[in-house]
Amino acid sequence: MPIHSFAGITPEIADDVFIAPGAQVIGNVRIGAGSSIFYNCVLRGDIHSITIGERTNIQDGTVIHVTTNTHATVIGNDCLIGHMAMLHGCTLLDHAFVGLGSIVMDGCTIESDGMLAAGALLTPGKRIAAGQLWTGRPAAYARDLRPDEIARNRSGCAGYVEVARRHRASVGA
């Protein structure tokens, strides 16, 4: 079973969340309705809390952790987190997008419709404003997203809700 209590705290997970085989959800973690945690993800709420909103998709191999007594990780509704991302003690507001292989470090915030490009490194304390695209290692502001790009990112969440439903039915999760 991929859900583990830690220090007497058991994850709180909505009934329709898809948690793939091989994923590990540990301790002080809350996951909202319609969200999905794909294969081989690790969400470790051992020394602070992790909160994930509704219809958010955490893709394969992602690691989500926290910072002792200083930074919880809070992820809003309708967020997309790409494969192999690492989120550590950060805040993602509704509709945030984190590209595959990206790293978001302690104290960072990605505002609504903000996007961190694939492979980027958002160093501690940085803030991506609403509708901005940041790229690079370390990440820096590249440009504002166009309305069609924001719409495409937002539509991805609805698509992943359906994909997760199909996986859940297939693997019996």
The pLDDT value recorded for residue 133 is: 98
Report how far residue 118's alpha carbon sits from residue 125's, in angstroms, rounded to the nearest whole number.
19
Q: Which residues contact 110 (CB under 8 A, 6 or more apart)?
A: 90, 91, 92, 93, 96, 97, 98, 104, 116, 122, 127, 128
The single-letter DSSP state of residue 124 is T
User: How many structural domains does the chain have?
Assistant: 1
The pLDDT value recorded for residue 158 is: 87
The pLDDT value recorded for residue 157 is: 86
The pLDDT value recorded for residue 120 is: 98
Q: What is the DSSP string of 75-107?
A: E-TT-EE-TT-EEES-EE-TT-EE-TT-EE-TT
* CATH number assigned to the domain comprising residue 62: 2.160.10.10
Containing domain of residue 56, as a range?
Answer: 3-171
- Cite the beta strand spans of 101-166 per DSSP E: 103-104, 109-110, 115-116, 121-122, 127-128, 132-135, 140-144
The pLDDT value recorded for residue 105 is: 98
| pLDDT string in tens for the chain (173-residue length) | 589 999 999 999 999 999 999 999 999 999 999 999 999 999 999 999 999 999 999 999 999 999 988 999 999 999 999 999 999 999 999 999 999 999 999 999 999 999 999 999 999 999 999 999 999 999 999 999 999 999 999 998 889 999 999 998 998 75
The pLDDT value recorded for residue 173 is: 59
